[in-house]
Amino acid sequence: MNKKKVELLAPAGDLERLIVAAEYGADAVYFGENRFGLRSGVGFTLEDIRKGIQYLHDRGKKAYITVNIIPHNDDFKGLSDYVAFLGDNGADGIILSDPGVLSVVKEVAPDVDVHLSTQANAVNLRSILFWYRQGIKRIVIARELSLAEISYISQNIPDDLEIEAFVHGAMCISYSGRCLLSMYMTGRDANKGECAHPCRWEYALYEAKRPGEYFPIEEDERGTYILNSKDLCMIQYIPQMIDAGINSFKIEGRNKSSYYVATVVGAYRKALDEYYKKPEAYEFKEQWLDELKKASYREFTTGFYLGKPYESQNYKTSSYIRNYDFVGMVLDYNEKTGLATIEQRNRVFKGDKVEIIGPYRDYFEQVIEEMYDEEGNTIDVAPHPQQLFKIKVKNRVKPYDMLRRKKV
């Protein structure tokens, strides 16, 4: 068993999501500017990164910055200045996959810890010890390893080398994300953060001598999604993950919404806190899994952790399962009036039954019986994106609490 408590590591695609991750219980957040990370659509500016690092440090949490592209020569332009900026602003770790990038970090910011990205495909002890000798402080283990393999590795590495592993989120059909399918089919390079996700598309079998005839690979008139993986979910196996020697539980999803981050981080936080209260008496609670299913998800899989994933593909659809709508975020609460100021995220009506969630507590339900605009006028609907409105709430709320509504 790990002597230190396992770190809960959350993704963030912009400053709001970073704050949400921290507020809902993440011990650390990984994020970065889009030039050198594998999510081209993230919204961090250099100033946002500076603010994000400071926000996390003020709360005793850590900031890990993604610099994990597989770079060509031109991709090194501006890298030294960026790494120097990260070092000057107190980044706790830089996540990378390329030896060339590692050399830049060692030259420019030698005091910043370096984490090896899952993109480097570290699947064996010898490779991991090689990277350790190059100055790597943490290995983001490849997704293709079982708990037994990870346990063997953790028992045979130096005490100051940490293991980080994904516990939740989207899975990739290729080896830990090293994929050329997107580049081949769309010209968008997945290894530079521009994946078009062709693994999620619908496919059919085509025979060259029968032009125009497409044969479904499964018994489905629309074809089949033969490359489409289910989402990883290991919340039911927290003791086994800890016993395997994993130091950091990583949640995938830098392109996911603030609501997704809040829901998933909150569920894992509750499970981990319950475990550490009394590990020998720990029992999994089905409500944690139910909570995860209130965020958008594909069907769940345990990936490679329990053995070869023979049932990890969803051949019928690549669509997400969405049972709830995120309808608003709390900005402010007036103790005297009981009115909460909400920023709308989806159309919401007077009379709607909503669940209100917040960090470190269970959600509560209520019907929206009173609804006002910013001037205090009674309204029946908040139809405009990010519209501010007020509602009467039956329990105390605080900023970054969220409203969700079950789909009918």
DSSP states of 318-362 as a string? Answer: -PPB--EEEEEEEEEEETTTTEEEEEESS-EETT-EEEEE-TTS-
Closest of 277, 229, 269 to residue 249, by C-alpha: 269
Beta strands in 5-106 (DSSP E): 7-11, 28-31, 62-66, 93-96
User: Is residue 289 within 8 Å of 261, Cβ to Cβ?
Assistant: no
- Cα pseudo-dihedral 175, 236, 291, 13, rounded to 10: -30
Q: How far is the C-alpha of 33 from the C-alpha of 14, rounded, in Å?
A: 9
pLDDT at 222: 47
Q: What does residue 129 show for φ and ψ, rounded to 5 degrees?
A: -65, -35
pLDDT at 4: 87
Task: Map out the domains of the chain as residue ranges.
Answer: 7-174+231-301, 324-406
Angle, CA of 219, 221 and 226, to the nearest 5°? 60
Per-residue pLDDT of the chain (408 residues; tens, 9 = 90+): 456 899 999 999 999 999 999 999 999 999 999 888 766 666 799 999 999 999 999 999 999 999 998 899 999 999 999 999 999 999 999 999 999 999 999 999 999 999 999 989 999 999 999 999 999 999 999 988 999 999 999 999 999 999 999 999 987 766 566 666 766 577 776 666 677 777 767 766 676 777 776 655 554 544 556 667 788 999 999 999 999 999 999 999 888 999 999 999 999 999 999 999 999 999 999 999 999 999 988 888 898 899 876 566 565 665 678 999 999 999 999 999 999 999 999 999 999 999 999 999 999 999 999 999 999 999 999 999 999 999 999 999 999 999 999 998
Q: What does residue 203 show for φ and ψ, rounded to 5 degrees?
A: -125, 155
Q: How far is the C-alpha of 307 from the C-alpha of 286, rounded, in Å?
A: 23
pLDDT at 321: 84
Q: Topology of domain 7-174+231-301, per CATH?
A: TIM Barrel (3.20.20)
Q: How far is the C-alpha of 288 from the C-alpha of 303, rounded, in Å?
A: 19
Please say whether the structural domain 324-406 has been given the CATH code 2.40.30.10: yes
pLDDT at 314: 61
pLDDT at 173: 67
